[in-house]
Amino acid sequence: MLRSLFTSLVAGGLFFAVLPSTTNYQLNSYGFGSGGTSNSSTSNYSLEGLTGEINSQADATSSYNLKPGFTQTQQASVPKVTITNPSNYYDKLHFVIDQQNNPADALYALQVCVGSGFPCGSPLYVKADNTLGATLTTADYQLYMAWGGSGGGNIIGLSPGTTYYVHAKATQGKFTESAYGPSSNAATSAQQISFCLYTISCGSGNTVSFSGLLAGTPANGSNNIGVDFSTNADSGGSIYIYSNNGALVSTTHPGSPITSATADLSSASQGFGARVASTTLLSAVTPYDGSGSQVGGLATTVATILDAAAPVSGGTAAIQLQAKVSNTTLAATDYGDIITVIAAARF
């Protein structure tokens, strides 16, 4: 048997005529190492070495990569990561790491390319505070749970309307860092705000009238002022209101205005104001959050009437105007005012 495998042993060299094989596999080369060192270290460096013959050629396909050698068998599993924009974000994106069966003490690092896939000229890294930075430090390798676990986390401080590519690598203990895994990409949205003001339907109607006001009786305007408001601003936004005159003024009797003030018109002798009659996803702001005939005054300075503390889609409200005259109010048909309503987002 020895003679059929080895042809000769000369000058200390061993030559193979036939390489080990079966009907399914063939070993093209092999050798015997002369030993090594396991986890030799100082305060700054650690070394794990194996001497002998190692084939440095990596066998790979588009889906798999096989590397030879003992140290390669110790690598952490290559993780996956998925990045999405679940809520119309303009300055952040959501990521979730797939551990690929790595142990609980494995650490993960995330690399990012902006605008194009990997490799890119100036890759960035997700820092421990979830912002992006140009360098990767040991502090940026974090446990799965520190990256949000199965719920993931958000990469923050991003630019609007931009595509980001991300992939991850893992390490567990010493000498185990994996290659980067497959990449995922998503785009941030543009900054957005949508606002519509109307008395009939969005884009239609801009007049509210009071007809046949009776002394001592509060009256509602003929229409409510409708408000539609949406924004993806992180801190939401506000709706503001102000009056041109701070009163209903008649050109016939300019010296006898129906002054606007915060009041309960059921008991006040006279007045004019506004209240939020209904809302969806928006909050009425004091003093416009009253009920019945309790109204907030409309001054010539801007006041907040509605608010959204977070991004909102499909926010609506109805603003009701109310007026009351006394039996001493001079009669006229031209009492009027101009009400201005403004929307602003907090990006």
CATH number of the domain encompassing residue 139: 2.60.40.10
Per-residue pLDDT at 10: 44
Residues 299 and 247 both lie in one domain? yes
The pTM score is: 0.77
For 99-124, the pLDDT digits (tens) are 999 999 999 999 999 999 999 999 99
Domain, as residue range, for 12: 2-71
For 156-209, the pLDDT digits (tens) are 999 999 999 999 999 998 778 999 999 999 999 999 999 999 999 999 999 999
- Is a pLDDT exceeding 60 seen at residue 235? yes
CA–chain centroid gap for 104, Å, is 27
The token pair that represents 136 in the structure block: 């990767």
Residues 237 and 305 both lie in one domain? yes
Mark which of 71, 94, 125 sits at the end of a domain: 71
Only one residue has tokens 């909102």, namely 312
CA atoms within 13 A on the CB side of 54: 15
Distance CA 31, CA 263 (A): 96
Write out the H or E segment, with its range, that includes residue 247.
strand 247-248
Mark which of 187, 215, 243 sits at the end of a domain: 187
User: At 8, is the secondary structure helix, strand, or coil?
Assistant: strand
In sign, the C-alpha dihedral spanning 215, 218, 219, 221 is positive
Q: Are 253 and 330 in contact (CB under 8 A)?
A: yes
Range 1-12 average pLDDT? 43
- Is a pLDDT exceeding 80 seen at residue 140? yes
Residues 128 and 210 both lie in one domain? no
132 contacts: CB under 8 Å, gap ≥ 6: 112, 124, 125, 126, 155, 157, 158
Residues 144 and 30 both lie in one domain? no
Distance CA 330, CA 253 (A): 7
Distance CA 287, CA 337 (A): 20
Residues 304 and 180 both lie in one domain? no
- Is a pLDDT exceeding 90 seen at residue 35? no
Planar angle of CA 66, 70, 73, nearest 5 degrees: 50
Residues 233 and 273 both lie in one domain? yes
Residues 232 and 108 both lie in one domain? no
Residues 41 and 159 both lie in one domain? no
- High-pLDDT (> 90) share of the chain, %: 76
Report how many domains make up the chain: 3
CA atoms within 13 A on the CB side of 156: 9
Residues 280 and 295 both lie in one domain? yes
Distance CA 298, CA 247 (A): 8
Mark which of 51, 71, 91 sits at the end of a domain: 71
Residues 336 and 218 both lie in one domain? yes
Residues 218 and 335 both lie in one domain? yes
Count of all residues that appear for the chain in the document: 347
Residues 84 and 137 both lie in one domain? yes
